[in-house]
Amino acid sequence: MPTLLKCTPILHVDAIEPCLPFWTERLGFQVTVQIAAGEALGFAILAKDGVEVMYQTRAAAARELGDPGRVPETRGTMLFIEVDDIAAVEQALAGIHQHAPRRLTFYGAEELFVYEPGGNLVGFAQMRGA
């Protein structure tokens, strides 16, 4: 069996630019790669503390694949990110509409879920005792 080295989500969105401040300004991510597609971004990579998120516009994916019908419909993607301080995340995301109130789960995590500007659900969880 091969060794798995990394797993990075690629979120397909209509526009990347509205999504960047969610990660950079509120959560401290850095944009490590930006690739233009005409006047706008077509692809971007953001990273922080070993966590990486990629964005690609649906139009850029269609151009890359040469067939708009081959671009997977990915609405409904959900990210789950473990953090060491859920209160700090909640403060950083003040004003962002929460999908559900912060809660304690049956498996011992305090969780908070929000939608990022591209429409993808992002969950943050702090395990009890962490």
What CATH number has the domain bearing residue 102?
Answer: 3.10.180.10
The pLDDT assigned to 97 comes to 85
19 vs 66: CA distance, rounded Å: 25
HEC secondary structure over the chain: CCCCCCCCCEEEECCCHHHHHHHHHHHCCEEEEEEEECCEEEEEEEEECCEEEEEEEHHHHHHHHCCHHHCCCCCCCEEEEECCCHHHHHHHCCCCCEEEEEEECCCCEEEEEEECCCCCEEEEEEECCC
pLDDT for the residue 76: 60
Domain that holds residue 107: 10-127
User: pTM of the entire structure?
Assistant: 0.84
Residue recorded with tokens 């304690």: 104
How far apart (Å, rounded) are the C-alpha atoms in residues 108 and 111? 9
pLDDT for res 67: 66
Residue 3 located in a structural domain: no
21 within a domain of the structure (yes/no)? yes
Is residue 79 one of the residues assigned to a domain?
A: yes
Tell me if 4 is assigned to some domain: no
Confidence at residue 75, expressed as pLDDT on a 0 to 100 scale:
58
Q: How many domains does the chain have?
A: 1
Structure tokens at 34: 């930006």
User: Would 5 be classed as within a structural domain?
Assistant: no
Residues in the chain: 130
127/85 Cα distance (integer angstroms):
9
Residue 2 domain-assigned (yes or no): no
- Average pLDDT for consecutive 10-residue bins of the chain (130 residues)? 79 94 98 95 96 92 71 70 94 90 89 90 85
